[in-house]
Homo-oligomer: A and B are copies of this chain.
Amino acid sequence: MSLRDIINKNLTHWVSGNGPDNDIVLSSRIRLARNLENVPYPNRASAEEKAAVSKSVIEAISQQNEIKLHYIDLADLPEVEREVLVEKHLISPIHAKEGMEKGVLLNDNETISVMINEEDHLRIQVLIPGLQLDKAWEIANNLDNLLEARLDFAFSENWGYLSACPTNVGTGLRASVMVHLPALNLTNNIGKVLGAVSQLRLAVRGLYGEGSESAGNIYQISNQITLGHTESDIIDNLKSVTTQIVSQERQARKLLLQEQEIEVKDRIKRSYGILKYAYRISSEEALKLLSNVKLGIDMGIIEDVDQGVLSELMVLIRPAHLQKIDGKELTAAERDIKRAELIQTRLNM
């Protein structure tokens, strides 16, 4: 199998698909935290209790035909495969760690994942490309309803859905978008924009979760509050803020072309040249350059590469993907070389 085939085979829908406003919004995500009534939360449950949780969830899924999910027991997966799921954003880093009775349900194109026995008994996730929070919500809500018809979810009239951590109580809903904001960075407006976002009860994080740097000018924006608002309030608020950010990023891009055309073209084209020819590259540098290249594609400066390249490569160049694609463990130095090769294969596709 050629490297091209392997790349295609390893792509998950949210990175390879297209969606609205995909020039700036890489993906939309809905996550629902749910727990079974009268069963201790996973951190306090026994192995038997957790096994029972898995069993009931798998049964509930098998009792309906609308959504087709297949179950993976994480204990059956080698570490590298678990890490691949983390890099695809399908399970959390904690869920990938050694542990009993952890599992995940996935649909074929990996837009739906249900973690079983992570922090909560169930974490339903829908992750799709572009700005489509409503659609993601619709899919997640539908799956939630199908499950709730067959399982007893812990629910209080006062508090709503109960969860292991109080920050998820209520709707159990976390809605988020992943946005690419290079022009706001280049025009030094990012601080102002993200500061304003924080004041709107939304959290901003870098690409790899809490506290991480904004590698590749990619930010995750999500609701902080799950309690005291309806699901549609939460989603509408995030959607409206995201739409404003998209418009500010687009304005910043126009401004860049007006005021720094030569500098910007040069920066973008050089980034592309280095990515196309480097013999080795760190993931940090690769993300930085890929961010420039995606900006170039979106601005019409680079014409022979498609828009999805950043989403695809930011996943494919991570350590577990590289090792899976290469079929063996790699040292950091070897990964830098394989990463460069992979990027070049993808850029020439």
Beta-carbon nearest neighbor of A261 in chain B: B279
- Is A41 an interface position by the 8 A CB rule? no
- Max chain B CB contacts within 10 Å: which of A270, A272, A274, A333? A270
B-chain residues with CB within 8 Å of residue A268 when the two chains form the complex = 279
- Is A250 an interface position by the 8 A CB rule? no
Number of residues from A at the complex interface, CB < 8 A: 17
B-chain residues with CB within 8 Å of residue A270 when the two chains form the complex = 274, 277-279
B277 pairs with A273, CB closer than 8 A: yes
**Interface 1/0 per residue, A259-278 and B, CB below 8 Å:** 00010011011101111111
B-chain residues with CB within 8 Å of residue A273 when the two chains form the complex = 273-278
- Is A318 an interface position by the 8 A CB rule? no
Beta-carbon nearest neighbor of A334 in chain B: B262
A269 pairs with B278, CB closer than 8 A: yes
- Is A337 an interface position by the 8 A CB rule? yes
Give, as a whole number of angstroms, the nearest-CB distance from A176 to chain B.
35
Beta-carbon nearest neighbor of A302 in chain B: B277
- Is A280 an interface position by the 8 A CB rule? yes
B-chain residues with CB within 8 Å of residue A277 when the two chains form the complex = 269-270, 272-273, 276
**Interface 1/0 per residue, A109-146 and B, CB below 8 Å:** 00000000000000000000000000000000000000
A321 to B279, CA, bound (A): 33
A339 to B298, CA, bound (A): 26
A276 to B269, CA, bound (A): 9
| A contact residues vs B (CB 8 Å cutoff) | 262, 265-266, 268-270, 272-280, 333, 337
Of the A-B pairs whose beta carbons lie under 8 Å apart in the complex, a sample of 18, sorted by A's number, is A262-B279, A262-B333, A265-B279, A266-B279, A266-B280, A268-B279, A269-B277, A269-B278, A270-B274, A270-B277, A270-B278, A270-B279, A272-B277, A273-B273, A273-B275, A273-B277, A273-B278, A276-B276
